[in-house]
């Protein structure tokens, strides 16, 4: 038996589901730019690889924090507090 008062979960839209892929894609492009720039300036593959990895991690974290900052909070599902 299902509870009629229990709300059904909302299905996320395509845009909401694609957001993580957008963040990873943008981070990859930014990291590739840094990696290629490091390789062209030093001609050392290890330095370019380290620059790529560091730029990828930093850009993923920064993009995720910016997305958290601009997203509107969802109201609680359990209703108002009784305190």
Q: What does residue 33 show for φ and ψ, rounded to 5 degrees?
A: -60, -45
Return d(Cα 54, Cα 46) in angstroms, integer. 12
Q: Give me the residue label for tokens 């709300």.
A: 7
In tens, the pLDDT along 33-81 reads 999 999 999 999 999 999 999 999 999 999 999 988 988 777 766 766 6
DSSP letter assigned to residue 9: P
What are the extents of the domains in the chain? 17-70
Tell me the pLDDT band of 17, cut-offs 50, 70 and 90: confident
CA distances from 59 to 8, 10, 20, 33, 51 (A): 36, 30, 13, 12, 12
């Amino acid at each position: 038996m299902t509870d009629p008062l229990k709300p059904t979960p909302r299905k996320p839209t395509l845009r909401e589901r694609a957001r993580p892929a957008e963040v990873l894609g943008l981070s990859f492009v930014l990291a590739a730019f840094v990696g290629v720039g490091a390789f062209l300036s030093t001609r050392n593959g290890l330095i370019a690889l380290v620059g790529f990895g560091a730029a990828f991690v930093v850009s993923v974290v920064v993009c995720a924090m910016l997305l958290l900052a601009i997203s509107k909070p969802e109201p609680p599902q359990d209703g108002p507090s009784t305190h």
